Amino acid sequence: MRMNAFQSLILILLLFPAVLAGQSRCLVIVEEVKTPPMFGFPAKTRKATTWLRNGDLRRDEGERSRTLLALSSGEAWLLNHRDSTVVPLSEATLQGLSMFGVGLFGLPVDAVTGKPSVPRNLFRKTGRVRTIGGRPAEEVEVRIPAGPGSADPPQAPILWIGTDGAPRMAEYLAVLRRMLGPAASDYEPLFEQLRGLKGYPLRIQASVLGQELTQTLLSADSALTDASVFRLPDGYRRGSAKTVP
């Protein structure tokens, strides 16, 4: 459809302020993570916000006062807002910090190659449905077979997949891929099966030391964001990599 001069003028007036402010549209994901008491630490509930745009990723964990920046230029940084330091992250360190997302699936790891082993038909829809955050979702079991010499399979997580079409599973995979970096290729069989679920996981329930951990989607929206979201803040000093857990 071709626009006439008046329509073009209206479009320019709508977009011009955002361009002047250095804004662009990106996906903003807000999640709530509840962890059970472990190793003497109390149970915690924290909120994490992730921005994703054209290969750039920012993840804020407010409870920890930390921000992870993984940029399309290949740079990765950990920002500590408590002492105003920035620490460059190596590829291996970034992957280690990013394993939480795929770790929830409880995949076994090959003892020889160190790579994850992804069973066929990993996911099964149970037919159960519920509403999470006002949105419809269907239950999907993650089926991990028992290891050698074990009669019972390990306790696998439960996914509640949104069925209203937004956001899409492709956007969830974009987050996982970006955080894993080059290691994402090891998880391609997992991603292939996740794509078949289509919808975004509104909740992931996993067992940790016999207690439940949950990751719940609070919101996922396309929004105009200032370009500074993906830049290192002014006034921060270089910190030591030894402080990275």
Q: Which helix (H) or strand (E) holds 100?
A: helix 91-103
Closest CA to 226 of 23, 6, 14: 23
Residue 67: pLDDT above 50?
yes
pLDDT value at residue 188: 92
How far out from the chain centre does Cα 224 lie? 20
- Tally of CB atoms within 10 A around 114: 8
Q: Which domains does the chain have, with CATH numbers?
A: 25-243 (2.50.20.10)
What 3-state class would DSSP assign to 219? Answer: strand
Which positions ≥6 away from 81 have C-beta within 8 Å?
65, 66, 67
Helix segments in 104-183, DSSP class H = 169-180
pLDDT tens digits for 180-220?
A: 888 889 899 999 999 999 899 999 998 777 788 899 999 98
How much is the pTM?
0.78
pLDDT tens digits for 5-49?
A: 555 544 444 444 444 446 778 889 999 988 888 767 788 888 999
